Amino acid sequence: MIRKTVNGVEEATKGIKDNMTFMLGGFGLCGIPENAIAELVRKNINGLTCISNNAGVDDFGLGLLLQQKQIKKMVSSYVGENDEFERQMLSGELEVELIPQGTLAERCRAAQGGFPAFYTPAGYGTEVAEGKETREFNGKMYILEKAFKADFAFVKAWKGDEAGNLIFKGTARNFNPCMCGAAKITVAEVEELVPAGTLDPDQVHIPGIFVQRIFQGKNYEKRIEQRTVRKR
Amino acid sequence: MLDKNGIARRIAKELEDGYFVNLGIGIPTLVANYIPEGIEVEFQSENGVLGMGPFPFEGEEDADIINAGKQTITTMPGASFFDSATSFNMIRGQHVDLTILGAMEVAENGDIANWKIPGKMVKGMGGAMDLVASAENIIVAMMHTNRAGASKLLTRCSLPLTGVNCVKKVVTNLAVLEVTEDGFKLLERAPGVSVEEIKNATEGKLIVGDNVPEMILD
């Protein structure tokens, strides 16, 4: 067994530097790597390019990095819930690349799987296709999209073991599995870290080979963005 | 004339037994409240759930179980969770039968604009571009005119496009229209709405048959 465990978030983020490109899992605030984000804030590294479906809210998630102006560029599909983001974007301090959500997921997975690029119909005939190669297959038009390149991927899982095997919970799975192994170093934080041999190999969602460092996170807030309920 | 719930009720009549359906944010979400009796459909949410159920009871919310609108939800028996790439394989691979979404503008050739207004804060397209580029059947739910009273059914979209030649049907507060090679074909009028009113509210080419029936909602 190849051990992937590290001693907490400080060791897990060893080697991060200014101007790096990071992938961060999560959809809204669901399944975000809370511990890694807090550490990036604490280490105050700057000029970051962040690939993440969303940009957090003002006081949580990637919003915490935006508050300190640590992010140079966001690559996302939807960024609508963050006033500070809006201010920095409109003032030109923050560069933003908006891409279709399925394309975002697939550009991660292409990097994971060793594909340099792929064709997708998403965005054909729109400004997303500008400057991109297009091609017809079976009478339908597609655009060529390239795999991401990133230095670190920070992902969050529910359970993990010493070998880096991961199991996700509910819709907190989202982009996290697609980002594992899609950057030079993948850092997984889990709510519960268990000894090797504890997880049923049949139930593993992401094999440990895609993960370089794993640690048990602390103090998960798991904030709910839109609390919607019905009466009994 | 229909209100938002009326539009959702009319669209729900388009659901067929065995359909997998993706609902956009806004009016489309309301369609889930009007599933016709005797049919089974499953709702897909692109953040990674198939078999979405109603909102949880108070106190039973789970931060790890949300829909694409970031709302807390529940799941139905037979539901599944999956990653974002798999979710869009369902969409791009046309395994999802029907996509219902809102729009700012629809053109008579089926183009749709629903993600960006130049000069205003752009929030992003989310999964809309993947959905409209891939879905076999796309129904748009929207008001027939905007707040200024201008038609949203146009000859050509004026706003940045989300997708081209993709919308199959439009259900508005005034009418049900099919997008055909020749333009918007008027299929039904909303209760109490005349063909004349629909003509006046439609900028794009409108094809009107001899007898346009009024919608039946129940």
B77 to chain A, closest Cα gap in Å: 14
Q: pLDDT tens digits for A121-134?
A: 999 999 999 999 99
Comparing alpha-carbon positions, the chain A residue that sits nearest to B52 is: A171
Q: Is position B213 within any domain?
A: no
Residues 6+ apart with CB under 8 A from B44: B20, B21, B22, B50, B52, B87, B90, B91, B96
Q: pLDDT tens digits for B48-105?
A: 999 999 999 999 999 999 999 999 999 999 999 999 999 999 999 999 999 999 999 9
Q: Is position B20 within any domain?
A: yes
Q: Between vectors from CA A172 to CA A182 and to CA A148, what angle results, nearest 5°?
A: 20
Cβ pair B72:A123 closer than 8 A: no
Task: Output the domain CATH number for residue B143.
Answer: 3.40.1080.10
Q: Is position B95 within any domain?
A: yes
Q: Is position B31 within any domain?
A: yes
Cβ pair A231:B92 closer than 8 A: no
Kindly state the average pLDDT of the residues A201-223: 98
C-alpha B45/C-alpha B70 separation (Å) is 10
Selected residues 85-104 of chain A with any CB under 8 Å from a CB in chain B: 86, 89-90, 98, 100-104
Q: Do residues A26 and B63 make contact, with C-beta atoms less than 8 angstroms apart? A: no
Residues of B in contact with A90 (CB under 8 A): 121
C-alpha B96/C-alpha B91 separation (Å) is 6
C-alpha B29/C-alpha B25 separation (Å) is 6
Please give the ipTM for the structure prediction.
0.97
Q: What is the pLDDT of residue A10?
A: 98
Q: Is position A165 within any domain?
A: yes
- The count of CB pairs under 8 A between chains A and B is 180
Q: pLDDT tens digits for A40-65?
A: 999 999 999 999 999 999 999 999 99
Long-range contacts of B77-81 (CB under 8 A, 24+ apart): B77/B51, B78/B42, B78/B51, B79/B49, B79/B50, B79/B51, B79/B52, B79/B53, B80/B49, B80/B50, B80/B51, B81/A168, B81/A170, B81/A171, B81/A173, B81/B48, B81/B49
In three-state secondary structure terms, A63 is helix
C-alpha B151/C-alpha B100 separation (Å) is 20
Per-residue pLDDT band for A163 (boundaries 50, 70, 90) equals very high
Pairing of strands B183-189, A21-24: unpaired
| Phi, psi angle pair for B195, to nearest 5° | -60, -35
Q: What is the pLDDT of residue A90?
A: 86
Q: Which segments of chain B have a pLDDT < 50?
A: none
Q: Based on the number of CB atoms within 10 Å of its own CB, is A7 exposed (0-12), middle (13-18) or buried (19 or more)?
A: exposed
Continuous segment of H or E residues that includes residue A39: helix A34-43
Cβ pair B160:A123 closer than 8 A: no
Q: Is position B218 within any domain?
A: no
Cβ pair A79:B56 closer than 8 A: no
C-alpha A32/C-alpha A34 separation (Å) is 6
Residue type, A132: K
Q: Please state the domain count of chain B.
A: 1
- Domain residues for the domain of A38 are 18-98+150-216
- Torsion angle, CA of B174/B180/B183/B189, rounded to 10 degrees? -20
In the 8-state DSSP scheme, what is residue B213? P
| Phi, psi angle pair for A193, to nearest 5° | -105, 125
Q: A143: which 2 tokens?
A: 């655009």
Q: Is position A29 within any domain?
A: yes
Helix, strand, coil percentages (3-state) for chain A, rounded to 5, are 25, 30, 45
**Which residue of B125, B132, B165 is the best one to mutate when testing the A interface, meaning the one whose CB has the most A CBs within 10 A?**
B125
Q: What is the pLDDT of residue B217?
A: 87
- Domain residues for the domain of B179 are 4-207
Q: Is position B186 within any domain?
A: yes
Q: Is position A127 within any domain?
A: no
Q: Do residues A115 and A146 make contact, with C-beta atoms less than 8 angstroms apart? A: no
Task: Output the domain CATH number for residue A204.
Answer: 3.40.1080.10
- Catalytic residue numbers of B read 46
C-alpha A209/C-alpha A2 separation (Å) is 9
Q: What is the pLDDT of residue B117?
A: 93
In the 8-state DSSP scheme, what is residue B96? S
Q: Is position B212 within any domain?
A: no
Cβ pair B70:A127 closer than 8 A: no
Q: Please state the domain count of chain A.
A: 1
Q: Is position B42 within any domain?
A: yes
Closest Cα to residue A128, out of A75, A172, A204, A176? Answer: A75
Residues 6+ apart with CB under 8 A from A190: A156, A157, A158, A159, A160, A166, A214, A215, A216, A217
